[in-house]
Amino acid sequence: MEIRAANPSLVLWFDRIGMADLAMVGGKNASLGEMVRTLTAKGVRVPNGFAITAHAYREFLRASGLEAVIATNLRGLDLNDTDALARCGHTIREAMLAAELPADLVAAVKTAYAQLSVGAELCDVAVRSSATAEDLPDASFAGQQETYLNIQGNTALLDSVKRCFASLFTDRAIHYRAEHGMADAQVALSVGVQRMVRSDLACSGVAFTLDTESGFRDVVLISAAYGLGENVVQGAVNADEYRVFKPTLKAGFKPILQKTVGSKDIRMIYDAGAGRRVKNVPVPPEERARLALQDEEVLALARWATIIEEHYTAQAGHPCPMDIEWAKDGRTGELFVVQARPETVQSRRGRRTLDTYALKARGPVLATGRAVGDRIGQGRVHILRGVQSLAAFRPGEVLVADKTDPDWEPIMKQAAAIITNRGGRTCHAAIVSREMGLPAIVGVGNATELLKDGQEVTVCCAEGETGRIYAGLLPFEVQHVDLDAVPQPRTKIMLNIANPEEAFALSFLPNAGVGLAREEFIISNWVKVHPMALVHPERVEGAEANAQIAQLTARYTDKPQYFVDTLAQGVAMLAAAFYPKDVILRLSDFKTNEYANLLGGKAFEPREENPMIGFRGASRYYHPNYQEGFALECRAMRKVREEMGLTNLKLMIPFCRTVEEGRRVLAEMAKHGLQRGQNGLEVYVMCEIPANVILAEEFAEIFDGFSIGSNDLTQLILGVDRDSEIVAPIFDERNEAVKRMIAQVIRVAKATGRKIGICGQAPSDYPDFAEFLVEQGIDSISLNPDALLKTTLAVAALERKLVAVPATPVFA
């Protein structure tokens, strides 16, 4: 990227600057100018403003004699001495605040401010620091300098400009520059003056053009909270979160993969009294329970984010994920982008190596929150309640606080993990933890009350979006994988997956897609309510169940739509993570006793002596007792495929006892808009009943393929209850009768041109069974994540032995 030479101007308007002007106006202002100049025509709305240049800052230092003051105080400073660092920073800042701004600078700022106001009354503005070394692809400078909001009038503006200049010498900024090898004299500060967006009357937040935890590049992650955006950035509020899938968004679909309601308990608004500029006020409970953004606003922000990312990627010549701040004006309803900078953590991580963390044992869960990163840390709890107790913090302790402050960064890097009461995945604690490679759990709520100083804990962020704080120092392991060394077998190696929260991270494993996605996990952990209880709420028994259902569905007047939306979001997360590879979703396969455990379920489920071979799978879908519930499942699948554009989603029918039953299920699906063959829809059948093998040719006429469920198939061939401890030794998928059945169905599938894979547990547990399947010519083997790598290597080796040719050297 070309960098233009220094400009002696004191003030430059945004439409006259761009990324080539970093040395003149700093990263923040250069980016604002770049967007105003190049992206306004593409629909990205950015508030107008101007930059007070780095030249103006240097002139201020020269004219006031501050250069010598700064050099003298920084000379010989020990950065590890927090008291000395604080004294040094304070002395420099006080000297800067006491100095007078040059007269020509004062005049230039007043003139530009009057032009920006375009009226008799001077407009309210945001005054933002913009250092010449910040917002670069290799240094985030997150929260290093100051921002002042709701500034009005020349006196307040000039005071804020001087305070921004002084913030170049906060303790954290001095420490950060030294850590990154930046000489203090080489870094200057520009100030951006930008019309305020009245988000105090609406909402604001941030948007990342990747998933901040896993580094998954195909989503936009948006956070939103009421009022001015500082609460989101500082982590003072638990914001709403939205994930939008970029590839199908660009194709014109509406792929909001996930919507999560945050507590949003406070909002930052203008304060008309006592010169305080802004203040926080409580948010009424009914507003907290609502999402801050409408779907069309979420999609608009996501489109803007992709436009911004594409522009900066083209400019940089390599992928450039972005960290964007946005605001909604409560007077006009318009959305604005108020900042954009390169994301500096996940974008720098190499993805040819993969480190996976896993607990080897579990203990009591003390608290949960939002996981940041995918690591595990442990140590003794140290509760920090303010800057006054920083000196007592010891390396290796677990930092616990209400929220973190930028001034804490020198000691944050010494922590084993970080836990906060407040904040979302884009707050200060989360951003800094990612940059430092620390596990963090934010938004716990009451961690400072639940945890005690000196208590030993394990902080686990390796179990999906929910971070868990376990009592004690639990054993865990770290697996390091060189992805370039993993071969690609001809047999497709796919994943078994249930938890949507783990999908983005698991997508980086070498895989050919998902051979079994389990709908039951999403229903039991996300939806939680029996679908029939939403269709017929009058039949739900018990005040407690009714109250819980009412709470879960509070945002919905159409209660069945809650089931559709929530299930669709969970499924969409799985389909998006592996797009465009196949994701084969098995439709609901709860047993009646499991369905009864869902909220409201007892009123709709019969009591059965043997639920394993009772009212389950395909038999439910067309039966009057569940037909309306299955309709909701179908609506959710249509939403994923048609509204979100995730046509890589394939569907699979479990426990289909007869060919006629298969036809009835397909007819039921077609009635609800899921017609096999339309829009590329493939429908598979589980092969888990001996009848599926014996009549494989007939089943092949109506389904696109088979997935062998070796657990149920073994149970029914051998007549063994797989849950019985007494006869457990007899249960073995390697039994000759089972293997003959499997070999037979593979032969029929091949002869009829149908796909066939296996998604049972056996290949994960027994390498010799995986070898048997490869020898029979199976198309795919779907494995649990923990068995994927070792089985991939074993299958590739076997294939080389069988055909005497090397496998593809690198997994695509």
- Residues identified as active-site: 428, 759
Q: Which residues of 97-131 are buried (b: 16+ CB within 10 A; e: fewer)?
A: eebebbeebeebbeebbeebeeeeebebbbbbbbb
Q: For the beta carbon of residue 437, count every other beta carbon within 10 angstroms.
A: 12
Instruction: Sort strands 456-460 and 376-383 into parallel, antiparallel or unpaired.
Output: antiparallel
Task: Specify whether the CB–CB gap between 438 and 418 falls below 8 A.
Answer: yes
- DSSP, collapsed to helix, strand or coil, labels residue 132 as coil
The token pair at 127 is 């005054």
Question: Which 8-state DSSP code applies to residue 41?
Answer: G
Block residue for tokens 């007043």: 110
Q: How far apart are CA 552 and CA 533, in angstroms?
A: 13
The H-or-E segment that residue 282 falls in is: strand 277-282
| Terminal Cα-to-Cα distance of the chain (whole angstroms) | 31
Q: How far apart are CA 280 and CA 807, in angstroms?
A: 62
Output Rg (C-alpha) for the chain, integer angstroms: 30
Q: How far apart are CA 721 and CA 435, in angstroms?
A: 51
The token pair at 66 is 């501050």
The token pair at 226 is 């009421």
Q: Which DSSP string do the residues of 520-586 spell out, in sequence order?
A: HHHIIIII-B-HHHHH-GGG---HHHHHHHHHHTTT-SSHHHHHHHHHHHHHHHHHHHHTTS-EEEE
Helices (DSSP H) in 579-704: which residue ranges?
592-596, 618-621, 627-638, 659-671, 690-694, 696-702
Cα-based torsion angle of the residue sequence 663, 668, 670, 673 in order, rounded to the nearest 10 degrees: -160
Q: How far apart are CA 220 and CA 578, in angstroms?
A: 16
Output helix, strand, coil percentages for the chain, rounded to the nearest 5. 45, 20, 35
